[in-house]
Amino acid sequence: MKELKILAILAAFTAVLYWGVETYAHKVFYPPVAPADFTFADLHPEAQTASEVDRERREVLAMIEQGDPAAGRIAVETNCAACHTISADGIEMMSDEQLIAANGLLPPDLSNISSLYDEVFLMAFLKDPAEASFITSHTMHQREALAEAKAKSPEDSERLINDHVRTVDGFNNRVAGFFNKMPGYAWLGDEELANMLAYFRTIAKPINEITPREITMNACARCHSVDYDNMALKADMDALEDYLGVRPPDLSTMILSHGGGYLTTFINDPQKHLLGTAMPRVGLNEAAQDRVVAYLEEVGDPNIEERNRLGIWFVGYFLLLTVLAYLWKKSEFKEIGK
């Protein structure tokens, strides 16, 4: 009977550790946040309910549906091709190396953006990249840097502004440009933006023909490397640090240190977990984001399935061992007359 008591104490102790202490510690380190929102409801501040958000979204999607892809292609060639390649359509004015040298980081290839990013998000992003991607800390970092430079000399602050601001002649996107290297295009008007997005629909591959690695490359590699899979950083790290205020981490082991659940809410809206972070909301749709998380799982924790499968055998093995040990002990104690 003594053994059973010891077992009960051990089990109770383990249970308290596992469900009590561990769960509590997890909550402290990762306070629970609202689930990922793939409707990007905040982009429609006037909409009060989910159905109003849905209506607003359908309006934007209908505009894209009615857009003119041929006009869109011309607008894209004129406005975007200086910084982005569109390999699916043979639009490659510069090599990746040249683009990195010019921008500090590689602006993503635009071939598949319709399949990867939420189109309503894209519409908002094109109008105001800083606002849509929530890069509050770019803002904070750049404001600090600007204040510092101003204090030093007017030339310094002028240089800094010229480094960060990408004005397109005559267009008032200085503010958006200052906070994001991608300029805003609100001045083009909704119809022209819808034309562009209509064009992107015509060249994009369906999501299931794009590999998870390619998605990660498009959405993340301009700021993050994935060393375990030889995915190089598509940026000049010093320029990146100057832009973001921090050096973004390698993503190889993120799945182990943070877990899939965290990544799901974090990628969808980094501000939820790290208020003020320089990591932007990139606006991946749900299917694309799931693939990025699956990719990080495969790269960082390739044995997870095997481990889960072996787990039950492992527990069985210990149960069997317990029974055998008990029987052995009983027979031994019988011999010494206890």
Binding site for ligand HEC (CB under 6 A): 76, 79-80, 82-84, 103, 105, 107-108, 110, 113, 117, 122, 125-126, 133, 166, 180-183, 185, 196, 219-220, 222-224, 244, 246, 248-249, 251, 254, 258, 263, 266-267, 273-274, 277-280, 282-284, 292
Shortest Å distance, C-beta 270 to ligand HEC: 7
Nearer to ligand HEC, 73 or 84 (CB): 84
Shortest Å distance, C-beta 165 to ligand HEC: 11
| CA–CA distance, 71 with 69 (Å, rounded to integer) | 5
Joined together, the tokens standing for residue 28 give: 């402290």
Nearer to ligand HEC, 76 or 149 (CB): 76
Joined together, the tokens standing for residue 220 give: 């993340």
For the range 150-159, what are the long-range contacts, defined as Cβ-Cβ under 8 Å and sequence gap of 24 or more? Answer: none
Nearer to ligand HEC, 110 or 299 (CB): 110
Q: Are 291 and 208 in contact (CB under 8 A)?
A: no
Nearer to ligand HEC, 115 or 160 (CB): 115
Find the largest Cα–Cα distance for the chain.
100
Q: Which residues of 162-179 are buried (b: 16+ CB within 10 A; e: fewer)?
A: ebbbbeeeeeebbebbbb
Shortest Å distance, C-beta 163 to ligand HEC: 13
Shortest Å distance, C-beta 157 to ligand HEC: 21
Shortest Å distance, C-beta 222 to ligand HEC: 5
Q: Please report how many Cα atoms fall inside a 13 Å half-sphere around the Cα of residue 239, on the Cβ side.
A: 17
Shortest Å distance, C-beta 321 to ligand HEC: 39
Nearer to ligand HEC, 150 or 250 (CB): 250
Q: Please report how many Cα atoms fall inside a 13 Å half-sphere around the Cα of residue 165, on the Cβ side.
A: 16
Nearer to ligand HEC, 164 or 222 (CB): 222
* Residue 233 backbone class (left: φ over 0; alpha: ψ -120 to 50; beta: rest): beta
